[in-house]
Amino acid sequence: MTRASREWRISLSEGELEAAWWGAPPEAAPSFVLLHEGLGCISLWRDLPAWLAGRTGFGVFAYSRLGYGKSGRNPAPWPLDYLRREAGWVLPRVLDAAEIRQAVLIGHSDGGSIAAIHAATQDDPRIAGLVLIAPHFLMEPQVLAGITAAREAYLESDFRVRLGRYHAHVDDAFWGWNRAWLDPAFARDFDLSGDLRNVSKPMLVIQGEDDPYGTAAQPEAAARLARAEVEVAMIPGARHAPHLEAPDRTRPLIAAFSERMLKRI
């Protein structure tokens, strides 16, 4: 990861979050806000923040959710509505703390679901559009199979050690996420169709064609249900992280879409 121009901690009543900024400050240019995946954190965006800042001239803000990266603890079990709590209660305060003025939300996997819920439930004029990378809107068999496989790898391989390089509280991060998604009530009730019908922000939905955690049904749901325009990009050969696995195909799409959205403000 190319080093951020600013690193600091955001203090919330729930705990402290690690935060980082690349490029232009929010008073000088629009911003990207990065919302990481279910086992992600700031570091696991790799070089994407620096690339976006250099390509567009916009600022890039990222934070690690509670329990992840170098943020404070968030012991399992997590409440089954943890995505909604993040979207409706935590994210607005984080955007305030980062002094975000005009932005595109970029959400990966869990972060994509959080971004969509935020757009559906919060009247937030700061947000011009959404880039959702491998988001989850609907429960599919692939989702549960992939998360079950991750649990077996965590217990039986060096996966825990590798994750521990990025997360100060690795068991919080893994078991909070894994046990929530594999809870029968979560699997039964997870459906963001109603939220999508309330999204009025333009969206770019990016899906790897070989994603083990979801299929084209996810972006198709957004295109069918959302109130705003939806662009869909299926990326050949990419799995669950097309922004890292197919950067030459994926990143220019993100930059071009975001520049169009932010010019509308």
Q: What is the pLDDT of residues 61-76, one digit of tens each?
A: 999 999 999 999 999 9
Residue 263 is predicted with a pLDDT of 81
Domain 6-263: which CATH number of 3.40.50.620, 3.40.50.2300, 3.40.50.1820, 1.10.1060.10: 3.40.50.1820
% of the chain exceeding 90 in pLDDT: 96
pLDDT tens sequence across 204-244:
999 999 999 999 999 999 999 999 999 999 999 999 999 99
What pLDDT band is residue 1 in, cutting at 50, 70 and 90?
A: low
Give yes or no for residue 91 having a pLDDT over 70: yes
DSSP the chain: -PPPSEEEEEEETTEEEEEEEESS-TTTS-EEEEE--TT--GGGGTTHHHHHHHHHS-EEEEEPPTTSTTS---PSPPPTTHHHHIIIIIHHHHHHHTT--SEEEEEETHHHHHHHHHHHH---TTEEEEEEES---B--HHHHHHHHHHHHHHHHSSHHHHHHTT-TTHHHHHHHHHHHHHSHHHHHH-B-HHHHTT--S-EEEEEETT-TT--THHHHHHHHH-SS-EEEEEETT--S-HHHHSHHHHHHHHHHHHHHHHH--
Q: Read off the pLDDT band of 176 (50, 70, 90).
A: very high
Mean pLDDT of the chain: 96
The predicted-structure confidence for 18-57, as pLDDT tens digits, reads as follows 999 999 999 999 999 999 999 999 999 999 999 999 999 9
